[in-house]
Amino acid sequence: MSNRMRKVVFPVAGLGTRFLPATKAVAKEMLPVLDRPLIQYAVDEAVDAGADTLIFVTNRYKHAIADYFDKAYELESKLAEKGKEEMLAQVQGTLPHHVRAVFVTQPEALGLGHAVLCARPVVGNEPFGVILPDDLIVNDGRSALSQMADAAETWDAGVIAVEEVPNDQTHKYGIVATGEQMDERSARITHMVEKPRPEDAPSNLGVVGRYVLPARIFDLLEKTSPGSGGEIQLTDAIEDLLKQQSVLAYRFQGRRFDCGNKLGLVRATLHLALRDPELAPAVYEIAEGLR
């Protein structure tokens, strides 16, 4: 992989059952953390990493994400008429002009590996990123995916975000074993397994939803049989990829929130509210009042 990642895949076809009944009508990725939906944080991260093509792998019931990034003619002309420039900029700023959004349908929910494979015709033969918008990563400096794209270029390798997870939680993550340490944040992955029981886990380094992968992963995904949970797992294809080229586990700088569950979404919301100078004092006051 000599060239830099320009395309990023967002697998967003999930049903979001942990947030029912809200997700009866609202895509999970449209749930807000403060004033922005989860998908916006993910898109901003990809754009910060230099992406110019965003590929949303969605299902036929989810139009909300496409609508969100589309031009909102009526709203925009109303705001312009009333001179509400700041709001207009917000509405128009969901996707920068130089970035294009492509929507691909995943016809059946066959797993994350299958969702990524659905993006193949758009990605073609170049390295690409994957962001799972459930995992919201907050940081002050460059985005997690941007850090990873640098590492992928430097080491000519695939790169996967990891962080330590509690020993009794390994069954919720892809877990990696690592060998040679390349630099402060990157180590070569020697083995990778999807959602092992704690007694079977090779370590407690859990995969967070950010990947930079070479196009050859697609050939491997074509051959991947259903694994954990009866689904075609990205982890299993990456385990095969390890036989062909190096893939690094990358300890990103930033704080990750698992917004795929209620508590994670509450944590992320509080964290961002407390970083906002206008909201923070009132939020502290509310928290005090709850004690």
* Residues forming the site for ligand G1P (CB under 6 A): 112, 132, 134-135, 173-174, 194, 206-209, 233-235
Task: Give the nearer residue to ligand G1P in terms of CB position, either 94 or 186.
Answer: 186
Q: Is the peptide bond before 37 cis (omega within 30 degrees of 0)?
A: no
**At 168, is the secondary structure helix, strand, or coil?**
helix
User: Least Å distance between CB 13 and ligand G1P?
Assistant: 11
Task: Give the nearer residue to ligand G1P in terms of CB position, either 95 or 132.
Answer: 132
State the SS3 of 254-267.
Answer: CEEEECCCHHHHHH
User: Least Å distance between CB 169 and ligand G1P?
Assistant: 10
Contact between 221 and 241 (Cβ < 8 Å): no
Q: Locate 174 and state its tokens.
A: 């892809």
Q: Quick one: how far is CA 213 from the chain centroid?
A: 13
Task: Give the nearer residue to ligand G1P in terms of CB position, either 150 or 239.
Answer: 239
User: Least Å distance between CB 72 and ligand G1P?
Assistant: 30
Task: Give the nearer residue to ligand G1P in terms of CB position, either 95 or 135.
Answer: 135
Q: Residue 226: which residues within 8 A CB-CB, separation 6 or more?
A: 110, 111, 232, 233
Q: Quick one: how far is CA 97 from the chain centroid?
A: 22
Task: Give the nearer residue to ligand G1P in terms of CB position, either 79 or 116.
Answer: 116
* CA gap 80, 78 in Å, rounded: 5
Q: Locate 211 and state its tokens.
A: 């990947």
Q: Locate 136 and state its tokens.
A: 């919201």
User: Least Å distance between CB 196 and ligand G1P?
Assistant: 10
Angle between helices 262-275 and 280-290 (to 10 degrees): 130
Task: Give the nearer residue to ligand G1P in terms of CB position, either 241 or 273.
Answer: 241
User: Least Å distance between CB 195 and ligand G1P?
Assistant: 7
Query: Count of CB atoms within 10 A of residue 7's CB?
Result: 22
Task: Give the nearer residue to ligand G1P in terms of CB position, either 95 or 130.
Answer: 130
User: Least Å distance between CB 113 and ligand G1P?
Assistant: 8
User: Least Å distance between CB 291 and ligand G1P?
Assistant: 32
Contact between 160 and 250 (Cβ < 8 Å): yes
Q: Locate 115 and state its tokens.
A: 């969702």
